[in-house]
Structure 1
Amino acid sequence: MTSSTTERPAAAQAPDVTLSCRLCGSTDLRSFVDLGATPPCELFLTADALERAEATFPLHPRVCGSCLLVQLPPLIDPGETFTEYAYFSSFSSSWVEHARRFVDAAVERAGLTTDSLVVEAASNDGYLLQHVVARGIRALGVEPSVNVGEAARAKGVPTLTAFLSPDTGATVRATHGPAALVVANNVFAHIPDVAGFAQGLRAMVADDGWVSIEVQHLLTLVRLRQFDTIYHEHFQYYTVATAQRALAAGGLDLVDVELVPTHGGSIRLWARPRELGAAPGPAVAAVLAEEAAAGLDTVEGHAGFARDVSRIRNDLMRFLIDAADAGRTVVGYGAPGKGNTLLNYCGIRPDLLAYTVDRNPYKHGRFTPGTRIPIHAPERIEADRPDYVLVLPWNLREEITAQLAPVVGRWGGKLVFPIPALEVVDPVGRT
């Protein structure tokens, strides 16, 4: 956990009695970190929108004093964000490979055959289910975003355009039969109705089937100061303990957990229908003990994070201002949702970060929400030869360093990683 302080910890402040926990209903909610007010992180602006106002919403997660779920109030409507979505999973080659490895392991664990059905909630552009289809196993994606669902179908992945709810889950089961495996990767944090989503998962999975969920681990978020993964699309932030409670609300028992490195540190939860009576394995107890040792089994143990976040902001702003004063050029790499939390919280504008680039053509010619930084194709970096490249999707550090080393290495450019602490790196190892 973070270092101690003599100041009154944020997590011990008086509860915000007008709010209530979406998991247990308690009104005892305490401040975790206050990141100000920002626009929704995936609502990239077109050029003709630059002269119009943007809606902003408080970005202030709280921790529940009763069940310890860290959560944001549901200030945005998921339908407005996810009907047309700017994030396509397949633009990260390492993420596609991660999905392939997962499918290989899941086939063994769940004993999948060509007669089995695999359903993925929030299946995006078919990045994962394409590997299931390639094995000749029946697959169905449930994806609310029209544009990325179309991309999945173009890959041969059957996709239902819908948000997962108990009713959607029941319809999927009635139409396609029970699923031997239900997958929900990087979506468990994106839904405000935690219990309803878990019930939707239970509705789809066979009575002897498996549910697999990947979601960022709050323990890693705190240890590595990953505050930029807090944004309005993420309604809650899980420990294994709180995820176990959320799954139980849907009739699912947590039986196993894996720690995986994706998104800066995630947990892969394996659950089964409660009727099976499956007991948690030793890995569950081990991670619960690690969370308790870090203090995350108490409200007070969540304190100190806000102070660490402000230190990261100060260090990054000092670097950017010093670079500008010295006549050095700094541009960004990537336009992820997490990058927009960082840019808005720090108050970074085009005077300090001239532009950023992204591999996703959907974002080219658009501007980051709030900070209004232009987004270009990656080739712009080689054309301009900046002194520094600020890497916003730091969770893809290895992949991006390999991509940029032969590019910025031609003129001696350096990469800048802001989290967990400011680090300036020569990607080709020069001294």
Structure 2
Amino acid sequence: MSTTSLTGSTGVTDRLGRVGSSTSCRLCGARELHSVLDLGASPPCELFLTEAQLDEPEPTYPLHLRVCAQCLLAQLPPLIKPEETFTEYAYFSSFSTSWVEHARRFVESATRRLGLGPDSFVVEVASNDGYLLQHVVAAGIRCLGIEPSVNVGEAARAKGVPTVTEFLGPETAGRIRAQHGVANLVVANNVYAHIPDVLGFTQGLRELVADDGWVSIEVQHLLTLIQHTQYDTIYHEHFQYYTVASAQRALAAGGLDLVDVELVPTHGGSIRLWARPFGTGSTPTAAVAEVLAAERAAGLHDVDGYAQFSKAVQRSRWELLAFLIEAAEQGKTVVGYGAPGKGNTLLNYCGIRPDLVRYTVDRNPYKHGRFTPGTRIPILPVEQIAEDRPDYVLVLPWNLREELTAQLSYVGDWGGRLVFPVPTLEIVEVGR
């Protein structure tokens, strides 16, 4: 594994106001960062293009994952400010029915686990369109969403979910605490990877939660990402990727003790971290030790354990391209399903254009009539698949396999098949 020697100050800002390449680990400050996977350069994964933008220049940024030799935090350089992506955002959580159901089950279990009731207060950071807090509202529990994207926050408020438009940091958390009081539970699902200031964000979580309260964080598990070649979940919105070991260090840096961990299936394999403020006297559960042991056995508590990931990703790319080229040579039609951020990493890294995947579809009307960043593949309504009856449907949000296999069962009516590209290429017959 190669080592990148970096010098200079962290977070240099260029003349355009963008944050430049990191020169040291953003968590511990160490300057020895080892290369894990270099995916070349690609545009921000959620900046979908309008037709008018097709003739305009499109910026791309390096997509190079490295791991710190000291604290083992896997990270991307903070080349893009969160404000560039999240002020107006294309992702609405509620368009995934399975994700909404996952949130509902979480609210029910957390309510039981923590004894939440009418006198409790729940805060969710990066609350999106109210997909989770709508269940808290329905349970009669006071809550507040903190969502930086203006358009997505408006959708949450339209559902009756109280939401403020803010990026979380210690100062923001202090203002919210002063206005609304401390929270019994702070939820941060699929956001802990999205913030370049790990320390400031974690301190913000600590500021929001009561001294005897709880913080629950869901984030993709680096162990499953590497074991299952899930390279497409590496994109510029994700500034870091966590093992339980590195997450434990990050939480402690902000004043939180890791108390429990759950393995959950979302996003191809995630960890749900339960943390409490320093001083509660909580002892980590056996589950924490068990997951740490699994990570250690996989070699992820040492930089050498990351060395083979790049070769596995290359093989996955070759496999997918060989299939698409053969399908094109045989005159078969391939279209995509979904336009998720992970799909755009895959499309750009593999160099897939409309000659190999004619178009993709998405349930989110915001994306209709737009084009995927970099690869410029048209995004159409879902109904286009039934109209065109393609031979193959490439499922880009493969992490929703069960949900989408059921939704797309009609593809089998004309003999069409689904293609899942990760972790290994799999062609599936459905509905027959």
TM-score bracket, shorter-length normalisation: over 0.9
Following TM superposition, by how much is the alpha carbon of 1:140 offset from its aligned partner in structure 2, in angstroms?
A: 0.1
Of 194, 201, 207 in structure 1, the residue corresponding to residue 211 of structure 2 is 207
Structure 2 counterpart of 1:146: 150
Tell me which of 370, 376, 382 is aligned to 2:380.
Answer: 376
TM-score by length of 2: 0.96
- The code of the aligned residue for 1:72 comes to L
Shift, 1:277, TM fit? 2.5
In the TM superposition, 1:328-347 aligns within 5 A as: 328-347=332-351
SS of aligned partner of 2:408: helix
Paired AA for residue 161 in structure 2: V
* Residue in structure 2 matched with residue 304 of structure 1 by the alignment: 308
Secondary structure of the 2:352 match is coil
Q: Does residue 1:245 correspond to 2:249, yes or no?
A: yes
Letter of the 2:426 partner, please give it.
E
What secondary structure does 1:59 align onto?
A: strand
Counterpart secondary structure, 1:276: coil
In the alignment, structure 1 residue 418 sits paired with structure 2 residue 390? no
TM-score by length of 1: 0.96
Partner SS, residue 112 of structure 1: coil
Q: Residue 167 in 1 paired to residue 171 in 2?
A: yes
Letter in 2 for 1:70: A
Find the aligned partners of 1:315 and 1:97 in 2 and give their Cα distance: 34
Structure 1: distance between partners of 2:111 and 2:358: 46
Match for 1:77 among 81, 90, 98?
Answer: 81
Q: How does 1:168-247 map to 2 (within 5 A)?
A: 168-247=172-251
Deviates more, 1:303-312 or 1:274-283: 274-283
- 1:87 and 1:152 map into 2 onto residues whose CA distance is 13
- How far does the alpha carbon of each residue in 1:370-402 deviate from its partner, in whole angstroms, 9 at most, with x for none? 000000000000000000000000000000000
SS at match of 2:279: helix
Aligned runs of 1:56-71 on 2, under 5 Å? 56-71=60-75
1:322 and 2:326 aligned: yes
- Following the alignment from structure 2 to structure 1, what is the Cα–Cα distance between the partners of residues 323 and 267? 25
CA distance in structure 2 between the aligned counterparts of 1:24 and 1:279, rounded to whole angstroms? 24
Q: Which amino acid aligns with 1:191?
A: I
Q: Please report how far the alpha carbon of residue 16 of structure 1 lies from its aligned counterpart in structure 2 after TM superposition.
A: 2.9
Determine the C-alpha separation between the residues in 1 that align with 2:62 and 2:5. 14
SS of equivalent to 2:55:
coil
Query: Partners in 2 of 1:168 and 1:118 — Cα distance?
Result: 16
Q: Quick one: which of 116, 121, 126 aligns to 2:125? A: 121
Identity of aligned residues (%): 74
Q: Which moved more, 1:139-148 or 1:275-284?
A: 275-284
Partner residue, 2:49: 45
Residue 290 of structure 2 is matched in structure 1 by 286
One-letter amino acid of the counterpart of residue 94, structure 1: S
Counterparts of 2:135 and 2:271, CA distance in 1: 21
What is the aligned-residue RMSD (CA, Å)?
Answer: 0.6
Q: 1:241 & 1:425 partners in 2: Cα distance?
A: 37
Deviation at 1:37, TM superposition (A): 0.1
Which runs of no fewer than 5 residues in structure 2 stay unpaired? 8-22
Q: How far off its partner does 1:276 sit?
A: 1.1
CA distance in 2, matches of 1:308, 1:301: 13
Three-state SS of the structure 1 residue aligned to 2:343 is helix
**Regions of 4+ moved over 6 Å:** none
Question: How far apart, CA to CA, are the structure 1 residues paired with 2:57 and 2:309?
Answer: 32
Distance across 2 between alignment mates of 1:288 and 1:408: 42
Q: Secondary structure at the match of 2:211?
A: strand
- Equivalent residue for 1:135, pick from 110, 134, 139: 139
The aligned amino acid for 1:98 is H
SS of corresponding position for 1:268: strand
Distance 2:120 2:77 in 1: 38
State how far apart, in whole Å, the 1-side matches of 2:81 and 2:6 are.
22
Aligned equivalents of 1:225, 1:92: Cα separation in 2: 23
2:3 to 11, 14, 27: 14
Identify the residue that residue 4 of structure 1 maps to in structure 2. none
What SS is found at the alignment partner of 1:277? coil
Name the aligned partner's letter for residue 42 of structure 1.
E
Give the match for residue 273 of structure 1.
277
The CA deviation at 1:333 is: 0.1
Q: Counterparts of 1:295 and 1:410 in 2: how far apart (Å)?
A: 46
Q: Post-superposition shift, 1:14? A: 2.8
Amino acid at match of 2:79: L
* Residue from 104, 113, 116 that aligns with 1:112: 116
For residues 361 and 15 of structure 1, the distance between their equivalents in structure 2, rounded to whole angstroms, comes to 42
1:88 maps to 2:85: no
Deviates more, 1:79-88 or 1:277-286: 277-286
Matches of 1:220 and 1:296 in 2, distance apart?
A: 11
State how far apart, in whole Å, the 2-side matches of 1:170 and 1:273 are: 16
Task: Supply the distance in 1 between the matched residues of 2:306 and 2:198 (Cα, whole angstroms).
Answer: 21
Aligned-residue offset at 1:275:
1.8
| Paired amino acid for 1:423 | E
Deviates more, 1:273-282 or 1:50-59: 273-282
The answer to whether 1:397 aligns with 2:401 is: yes
1:140-180 per-residue CA deviation (whole Å, 9 max, x = no partner) reads 00000000000000000000000000011111111011100
